Amino acid sequence: MKLDPRTKLFILAITSVSIFLNRSITVECIFAGTGLLLLALSGHLKKTIKYTVFFLALLLIQLYVVPLFPVTVGGIVYMFAVYIRKLLPCFMLGSFLIATTSVSKFLAAITKMRLPKGLTIALAVTLRYFPTMGEEWSSIRDAMALRGISASPVGLLMHPVQTMEHVYVPMLVSASKISDEITQAAITRGIEHANERTCMENVAFSVWDLLVILLYIALVAGMIYANRKGVF
Amino acid sequence: MNKANVNKLETRDFISVGIFSLIYAVVAFVVGGIAQMTPVTFPFMPMIVALFTGTVFMLYVARIPKKGALTILGVIAAILLFVTGMFWMMSVFFLIFGIIADFICASGDFRSFRKNLTAYCVMALAPMGAYIPMAVMPEQFDAFMKNKGDFASFEGVIHSIGGTWWILPAMVIGTVVCAIIGGLIGRKLLKKHFEKAGIV
Amino acid sequence: MLSGASGCGKTTITRLVNGLIPHFYHGKLSGRILVNGMDTQKTEIAVLSNTVGTVFQNPRTQFFNTDTDSEIVFGLENRGVSREELLRRLSEITEELDLHSLRSRSIFELSGGEKQKIAFSSVYAAEPDILVFDEPSSNLDMKSIGELSQLIRNAKNAGKTILIAEHRFWYLMDIVDRVVYMKGGEIVSDMPISAFLTLPESDMGKMGLRVRNLSLSEQGGMRENISENHLSVEDIHVRLGGRDVLKGASFLAGGGEIIAIAGLNGAGKTTLARAICGLQKNIKGNVFWNGHCLSRRMRRGKAYMVMQDVGHQLFTESVLSECTLGIKNPDIGEIEKILNKVDLLEYKERHPLSLSGGQMQRLSVAVSEICGKELLVFDEPTSGLDLKSMEEVGEIARMLAGQDKVILIITHDIEFMKKICTRILFIRDGKIERNLEGEAKEEIIDLLGGKN
């Protein structure tokens, strides 16, 4: 089952809007269950298990632990546990989207959405720079370690401004240089052609997309019904 | 280096926008993520983030002083937050505040530090979107407790932790203060480093 | 081939041809540049890009996509070529350049050489008539340079016009037809390759050019005085991402030696260096300094690495404050003496990141000295350097060795190894396989799989 990235974005949007309007725990479990099912079907079993355990733990805290506390403490724990739990179905779909979509597929989908070209370029570079930023960070951290400057949270708490400076200076200067070099490589390969770019990656809707979208519409309908009837 | 086409975003600007938006978002994400991990620091997240992103913001405006750049920063931050499953109102806030910040900076031609700082204060408020659910959750808590047969209300909870109507303005003011500090640090580093290193 | 010392204007010429000047770098430009009849100043760079393709120096920063397939067709996508045509061209170029093992991969997991091959393929896929290379071999190991030269040869046979700005000549000697020698922004001579090949070795040195034939490069780096400082690395094992990167690397090193660590990409050079410097977590094995076993923390205090991206290790606002960073009660007189030794005293108020690459490298060395480091590791200190700068790096290494420090240099640069290093440790498959000294250093050319 391969979904179009646009479908994944759509179900993520539906889930994140619905989940905070929803009042029924049953409906929330169905939203979470659907997310888990998609993750499991895409073969990411470890993530599925992790999210299942986390979701159930937070659910049990709400149902069985919160009532044990006095109302003040219970209220705070409730807020925290429920807030995070309500984000979980979005996290599930988010990691489903990220784990199952290559950057080029995602960009192909974005291109099809006919956003302005400049925005697409910026977004492409954002996604491309992500791993580079990781490389840069570990190299800067090494350099700091050799000078006896700590990049750890402890160091950050002790000397926040200084630590910020020591990380930002090499990182931002290097980013500027890399930005210039990527630009040169991109414009000498014709990124400024005025015509519309084509895209080798093909994204198209399939029957699966239709099914998943219908499923989510049904979920929203179910949620509205449950809210009206006050289903637990 | 670049003298031509002063006001319109070019390819090199879009590429800078892409890279620096990512850095802005990652800093906000990492710092914000750490801040949100404990119930005690949870409400202070936007303030802590505002302290850290100031430098990136100031460099961003100095490097790409053109209309539209901050709007795209907002859009990219919104997309990144959205696809990682963060609460969607945060994305909406980033979109709207990005556009507002863009207008404010543009009104000072991107060179007025006061305008840029004001714009940053607006931008720094975007993570507040994370707290919108808090507005609906007390009602749900009450409903939940009623269901359990307990008629204590959330009103009581809020009273007992000493918070009432002033929580929201307090957070806004706190964030703005932190944004001003973050922005000033940013200006200092800009003068001390980035101008001398020749990247703006 | 465009030759000449750093700053002679080679790169500027390549930028004039591909249109980066005036379309990316703005300045004062007079005269006229015609590329296939197009005036580059009046032609948009996008149009020029149909005719001129450019491969740049740094493999890390010249790709736009995250996967190889998209990168190869990037230029064609920009032109709006239809999807069927893109796929056809992709499979065609896969055959032509033998890219089977590189298809559909994440670019971030590729080695520098593989990245450069993708960069070439991407440019070549767009079928430009003119190919421009700006120091393409700078960051490559010997095997990758061999492959690069094969690619350039293919392009030549396909009838392309090729312009290469380079410091390393040896891999191009049987490909190029003409050599342009530049100095101080002017073209001094323009000779056929036959004339270039007959230039006496002494003239090459005077012109500031590197060797044409690696096996003829002069032998230097005899070991002089070995002090009592000694480093003993014993049986280092490192496992990273499910792969054994180091499988029992051991060697001895004495103060005063300049030791090259050479090997192909992925052999474990960088991991070994990081292990010795105390940057690598979870290693098995020990590092001894004068007989004392060093903990990871102690190694970080004893060792310093001069990184390839040397800008990553400079943090402050001036050369002087860089030297005092983290030092309690710094002795300014002593610091100025050290700065003077590395020719940086006059720059003491400058921002470190505004210095040239060589100056940043020397500042890093000065910092290591102020911090009292006794073990120095250089990561590719000569990539992209001309003869003079390479010899300057050699001078610095000799100076440090003269102070009884242990110097380890990770490098691909054979000329540098032969001239400067006293010993070469050849690392293969996570182990130190050979220890080459004196005449035996010659063997490194074969070991690294280069042909010459």
User: Which residues of chain A fall short of a pLDDT of 50?
Assistant: none
Q: Which of B15, B193, B194, B199 to mutate to test the interface with C (most CBs of C within 10 A)?
A: B193
Q: Is the pLDDT of residue C108 over 80?
A: yes
Arithmetic mean of pLDDT over chain C: 92
Nearest CA in chain A to C308: A139
pLDDT for C223 = 64
**Rounded distance between C-alpha atoms, residue C55 and residue C122, angstroms:** 9
Q: Is the pLDDT of residue B1 over 60?
A: no
C348 vs B: CB within 8 A:
no
pLDDT for A133 = 96
Output the six-digit token pair for C258. 């300049």
Single-letter code of the amino acid located at A187:
I
pTM of the model: 0.93
Q: Is the pLDDT of residue C328 over 50?
A: yes
Arithmetic mean of pLDDT over chain B: 87
Q: What tens digit of pLDDT does each residue of C1-27 get?
A: 999 999 899 999 999 999 999 999 999
Query: What CA dihedral angle connects A205, A209, A210 and A215, to 10 degrees?
Result: -160
pLDDT for B3 = 42
Q: What tens digit of pLDDT does each residue of C249-284 get?
A: 999 998 889 999 999 888 899 999 999 999 999 899
Q: Which of residues 50-89 of B touch A (CB under 8 A)?
A: 51-52, 55-56, 59, 63, 68, 72, 75-76, 79-80, 82-88
Q: Quick one: pLDDT band at residue B154, thresholds 50, 70, 90?
A: low
pLDDT for C227 = 66
> Which residue from B1, B12, B197 is facing C351, i.e. has the nearest CB?
B197
Burial class, B186, CB count within 10 angstroms (exposed 0-12 / middle 13-18 / buried 19+): buried
DSSP assignment of C69-83 equals HHHHTHHHHHHT--H
Q: What tens digit of pLDDT does each residue of C206-254 get?
A: 999 999 988 877 777 666 656 678 899 999 999 998 899 999 999 999 8
pLDDT for A67 = 79
Nearest CA in chain A to B140: A23
Question: Omega of the bond prior to C22 within 30 degrees of 0, cis?
Answer: yes
Q: What percentage of chain B carries pLDDT values higher than 90?
A: 62
**Rounded distance between C-alpha atoms, residue C352 and residue C326, angstroms:** 16
**Rounded distance between C-alpha atoms, residue A9 and residue C424, angstroms:** 55
pLDDT for B80 = 94
Contact B64, B2 (CB under 8 A): no
Q: Which of residues 127-146 of A touch C (CB under 8 A)?
A: 127-128, 131-132, 136, 139-140, 142-146
Q: Is the pLDDT of residue C195 over 70?
A: yes
ipTM above threshold 0.90? yes
Q: Which of C23, C45, C312, C351 to mutate to test the interface with B (most CBs of B within 10 A)?
A: C351
pLDDT for B155 = 61
Give backbone dihedrals phi and psi of B193, rounded to 5 degrees, phi first. Answer: -120, -60
List residues of chain B with CB under 8 Å from any CB of chain C.
Answer: 1-4, 12, 192-193, 196-198
Give the mean pLDDT of C43-53: 95
Pick the range with the lowest mean pLDDT from B136-150, C94-108, C113-127, C435-449: B136-150
Q: What tens digit of pLDDT does each residue of C154-164 get?
A: 999 999 999 99
Q: What tens digit of pLDDT does each residue of A154-209 get?
A: 777 788 888 999 999 999 999 999 999 999 999 999 999 988 888 888 888 999 99
Give the mean pLDDT of C124-140: 95
Output the six-digit token pair for B36. 């949100």
Contact A191 C78 (CB under 8 A): yes
Q: Which of A147, A152, A174, A203 to mutate to test the interface with C (most CBs of C within 10 A)?
A: A147
